[in-house]
Amino acid sequence: MRETNGSPASGPEAVLARLETYYDAVPRFSARAEEHGPFTLFVRTGQGWHYYGRPALDGPGAFTAEDVERVRARQRELGAPESFEWVHEVTPGLRAAVEAAGLEVHEHPLLVLDLDAPPTDAPLAGAAEVRVLDPADPLLAAAITLPHLAFAEAGTSVGAAGPEQLVEAVKNPDTEAAVTRMADRIAAGRTVLVAAVGPDGEPVASGCHQPVGEVSEVVAVATLPALRRQGLARLVTSRLVEHARSSGVRTLFLSASDAAVARIYESVGFRRIATALIAEPPTAD
């Protein structure tokens, strides 16, 4: 699904075209791009997370299992995960090729919020203070560690990890380097980090948006599992939306882990527009 002449600026094809440009731009801030036939493989240039292969922007749109395997071989050579990401409605033919190459495909609702439209609801009020963190904020370490605890207990049900476990997790020896990377991203304007702060002055939920021009992606919204079902993720998301709107972002989007999580975002105005797909080797039973 490509943008065509005469498509309205807010129509699905135009929105997905903007997202494709964003997807191609974001990794280039901290990775180099290698072209492998119909794919672009992003290779990290420093520490931090590994990237993935994506359909080349404005590429041919035709893929074979052999194309996929060539990228996987390069990923193995680099010691990077054999991972691919794309939007099904933009590149519908890729799924068959990656499955033929032996990869497992995971589906995630892709939701957008048009920030050109006026807000439909008053800002949410809650018991927790919700604020944007600057690069030197003392809560930075806890705010970026919190999602690791949350994603280890996936879903929306109340879990085990709470404030005590967060205190211990921050002591991980990798935390200092992660804080430095995040502080650099915040200072450069590539990440906006928001935290909901509990009664003890420590984060109980956090999340980010990552702007590039007038498009930004909401990522890593998480609540301490023991404190779920209190509306904290919704508070964080609403603050991210407010910040994005006030800073000139016009299209805000995210990929939800599943339909239950998508409903949280729909409650603050996001709407499903497509399906984001992630392919990776099957996990062993």
DSSP string for the chain: ----TT--TTSHHHHHHHHHHHHHHGGGGTEEEEEETTEEEEEESSSS----EEEPTT------HHHHHHHHHHHHHHT----EEEETTTSTTHHHHHHHTT-EEEEEEEEEEETTSPPSSPPP--SSEEEEPPTT-TTHHHHHHHHHHHHHT-SSS--S--HHHHHHHTTSTTHHHHHHHHHHHHHHTS-EEEEEE-TTSSEEEEEEEEEETTEEEEEEEEE-GGG-SSSHHHHHHHHHHHHHHHTT--EEEEE-SSHHHHHHHHTTT-EEEEEEEEEEPPPP-
Average pLDDT, the chain: 92
Whether the model clears a pTM of 0.75, i.e. scores above it, the answer is: yes
Which pLDDT score, from 0 to 100, does residue 119 have?
A: 66
For the stretch 189-230, pLDDT in tens is 999 999 999 999 999 999 999 999 999 999 999 999 999 999
| For residue 63, pLDDT beyond 50 | yes
- Please tell me the predicted confidence (pLDDT) of residue 1: 38
Mean pLDDT for the stretch of residues 120-128 = 58
End-to-end Cα separation, the chain, in angstroms:
36
Residue 268 and residue 89 in contact, taking contact as beta carbons nearer than 8 Å = no
User: What pLDDT, on the 0 to 100 scale, is given for residue 176?
Assistant: 96
Residue 100 corresponds to which tokens in the numbers above? 């033929």
Q: β-strands 215-223, 251-255: how paired?
A: parallel
pLDDT for 99-111, tens place per residue?
A: 999 999 999 999 9
Residue 2 has pLDDT above 50, yes or no: no
Higher pLDDT, 47 or 184: 184
- pLDDT of res. 125: 54
- Report the pLDDT value the prediction gives residue 126, as an integer from 0 to 100: 59
For 161-186, what is the mean pLDDT?
A: 96
Residue 283 — pLDDT band, cuts 50, 70, 90? confident
